[in-house]
Amino acid sequence: MKCVLTIAGSDCSGGAGIQADIKTMEANGVYAMSAVTALTAQNTTGVYGIMESTPEFLESQLNCVFSDIFPDAVKIGMVSSVPLIQVIGDSLTKWKASNIVVDPVMVSTSGSRLLKEDAQAALMERLLPLASVITPNIPEAEVLTGMSIVSEEQMEEAACRLGELYPGAVLIKGGHQVSDANDLLYDQGKLVWLRGERIDNSNTHGTGCTLSSAIASNLAKGFSMEESIRRAKAYISGALRAGLDLGKGSGPMDHGYAIPDTDF
């Protein structure tokens, strides 16, 4: 059994964050572990509160995981402040973690800020250089590059810029601004468009968390970067196609759509 660790925030409504990550990892056949960076009080309509873990307690969680069940891959999601970013950077370096997927979470689907202003620089300096792949959506790629992205050509330029800046691969997610399900991968100097069918479903709470966790699961299983992303996109397409409709806002996906409902 391959093991994957998520370092992220908790979403009590279950659609994003740690909860989405664990559901995704289970559905992708790996053993899931979590180090919680923050509790959030949120649902499909918004984020109503954030209570951060202390850096010491986050470090303790990471030491517990790495010293006992060494993860084959690590996914990093919401890390809202500088001291937490430093602890994660130091721990991953100390423990020589590999297959690190960094989703540079900045704003929730519902529009709330999840990364403090001053933490942006720390994320770029301390965590992005450790990543095997970073997975910004278009607004995040705009912040990371300082350029505006309104066309596929600009997505390509941004991916190249980030790819030259950081040692790992870069996946810019098409998101809603350009071409919904078309993502762009920059890997070892090569650009590859990963085009997906756009699924007509406005319930997209946690799509970013889900994609990065599925990529981490596939990397843990030994697939190449491109294959890991293709499989992650296939998984998320199925979860969107399942058509779950919960909550009053942009609802969660059905992460368990492929898990049989066994009569135990």
Ligand X SMILES: Nc1ncnc2c1ncn2[C@@H]1O[C@H](COP(=O)(O)OP(=O)(O)OP(=O)(O)O)[C@@H](O)[C@H]1O
Catalytically active residues, by annotation: 173, 204, 206-209
Name the residue with the smallest CB distance to ligand HMH. 17
φ, ψ (nearest 5 deg) of residue 46: 165, 175
- Kindly provide the residue ranges of all beta strands, DSSP E only, lying in 77-174, ordered along the sequence: 100-102, 133-134, 169-172
- Give the residue, chosen from 2, 5, 6, 11, that forms a contact with ligand HMH under the rule CB under 6 A: 11
10: tokens are 């908790």
Q: Which stretch binds ligand HMH (CB under 6 A): 22-30, 105-113, 135-143, 256-264?
A: 105-113
CA distances from 53 to 8, 10, 40, 94, 244 (A): 11, 11, 11, 20, 31
d(CA 99, CA 76): 11
Alpha-carbon dihedral sign for residues 152, 232, 171, 44: positive
Of 25-33, 107-115, 132-140, 236-244, which part binds ligand HMH (CB under 6 A)? Answer: 107-115
78 binds, among ligand X, ligand HMH, none (CB under 5 to 8 A by kind): ligand HMH
Instruction: List the strands of the sheet with 100-102, edge to edge.
Output: 46-52, 31-43, 3-11, 73-76, 100-102, 133-134, 169-172, 182-187, 190-195
Cα distance between residue 88 and residue 136, in whole Å: 19
* Shortest Cβ 209–ligand HMH spacing (Å): 5
Binding residues (CB under 6 A) for ligand X: these are 16, 109, 137, 173-175, 180-181, 183, 196, 198-199, 201, 204, 206-209, 211, 233, 236-237, 240
Pairing type for strands 169-172 and 182-187 reads antiparallel
Q: Which of 14, 104, 163, 206 binds ligand HMH (CB under 6 A)?
A: 206
Residue 77 interacts, among ligand X, ligand HMH, none and using kind-specific CB cut-offs from 5 to 8 Å, with ligand HMH
Least spacing, CB of residue 194 vs ligand HMH, in Å: 20
Task: Find which of ligand HMH, ligand X, none residue 236 binds, CB within 5 to 8 Å per kind.
Answer: ligand X
Nearest CB to ligand HMH, comparing residues 208 and 251:
208
Q: What tokens appear for 230 in the block?
A: 């293709």
Residues contributing to the site for ligand HMH (CB under 6 A): 8-9, 11, 16-17, 40, 77-78, 105, 108-109, 114, 206, 208-209
